[in-house]
Amino acid sequence: MSTIEVNTPPGAFYNKGLGLGTQVKGQLARDYHSEIVEYIRTNGHTRRVGSLHFHLAKEFGFCYGVDRAVDYAYQTREKFPDRRIFLTGEIIHNPHVNRRMMDMGIRFLFGQYAETQGYEQLTPEDVVILPAFGVAHEDLKKLSSLGCILVDTTCGSVLNVWKRVEQYARDGFTSVIHGKYSHEETKATSSQATKYAGGHYLVVRDMAQAEIACDFLAGRLSKADFLNVFCNSISADFDPEKHLQKIGVANQTTMLSSESLAIAGRLCRAIAEQFGEANIDQHFRTFDTICSATQERQDAVIELVKKNLDVMLIIGGYNSSNTTHLAEIASEHQGTFHIDDAACVLGLEAIRHQPVMQHEEVITHDWLPAGEVHIGLTAGASTPNNKIGEAIERIVRLRGESLEEWMK
């Protein structure tokens, strides 16, 4: 462990790395790189091993924002070897990466990995890493007031959404955010609206909830019923009679792009019906805020499932929004199994996985056909390549094929 930290003052703020990328590059490669995955990627994204044909999506795994966040965390540990380091919550939604943070002595302030919840344990001598999702505006103010050293790894795509939501609030538009109200990113995004006096937000989970908002606009739903449905996903003192007069649409960056666009279109029609087509610009705004990496991975899955596959594996954390959406897309076309890691492949006869739209793992038998089999693989933007490689390696070994012949 390095001992290069010298007298960093309380309240220091890093949002462009810590200048130690070269020093941690080897460690990152050891922890997350996969020779197997790299070989397949550089050889046409397909590889045959005996009777197994593996087909890797054109875009998969760590995106730039996730890669940057993890890199900054490693740099932080390198720069501050003797200080307490905390993450406000999961750095990304991958259990293996979060447990690696713990192995490095990085603690968590909130969430399932936290020993003690809350900011009360912090001092100005501590270092706090803000995750790729960002943190709510109120939390950032609290951390700044405590004088902690802050390392901001917030993804640039998330910051772009924040700018859009802030502009809506400044112009008197309520932000309607397509997302999961309990997701860290959506919490952080919605807080950008309430930074401004009179700023408000509404979070809609899916098209069904968007339709509820449209029902209110059309007079088919009472105010009381609206507030009952959205009691957990609206800003304080939200009054739909006032705050749905002018709306701007944004979204959590990892949602299904097609659904976000459909929701924006549906809300636009509802506003036009309410105020007239000629007045739409005074009452409605929209901007596609799905990040490019999310879109690329979704497009790559659509392309991959068009092949003659026998089974599709989606690898990544079950609480990862972008990963679950990949599974959702693939399952519409192909027998699909969303697995956390290689350990979920129990054998040739059984696999443990989480079905689409469910929240518990199940075990499915006879998942892998006998004989020649074509297996499609992809991973969410929070999944390191070594987890893909380990899954491939396990299937190859279970089939009794030769790994020694793998890259010849």
For residue 185, indicate whether it is catalytic.
yes
Which distant-in-sequence residues (6+ apart) come within 8 Å of 64 by Cβ?
156, 293
Alpha helix (H) residue ranges in 147-284: 156-170, 184-193, 207-217, 223-229, 240-243, 257-275, 280-283
Instruction: Spot the catalytic one: 59, 90, 166, 185.
Output: 185
- In contact, 313 and 337? CB cutoff 8 Å: yes
- Tell me how far apart the alpha carbons of residues 203 and 120 are, in angstroms, rounded to a whole number: 30
What's the chain's length in residues? 408
**Of 11, 15, 38, nearest in space to 126 by CA:** 11
Pairing label, strands 52-56, 46-49 = antiparallel
- In contact, 215 and 244? CB cutoff 8 Å: no
- Encoding tokens for residue 45? 């994204």
DSSP string, 61-78: S--HHHHHHHHHHHHHHH
CA torsion sign for 113, 202, 163, 199 is negative
> Coil, helix or strand for 374?
strand
DSSP code, position 279? G
Q: Return the bridge partners of 49, or none.
A: 52
- Encoding tokens for residue 173? 């538009």
DSSP code, position 344? G
**Of 358, 303, 348, nearest in space to 328 by CA:** 358
Instruction: Give the active site residues.
Output: 185
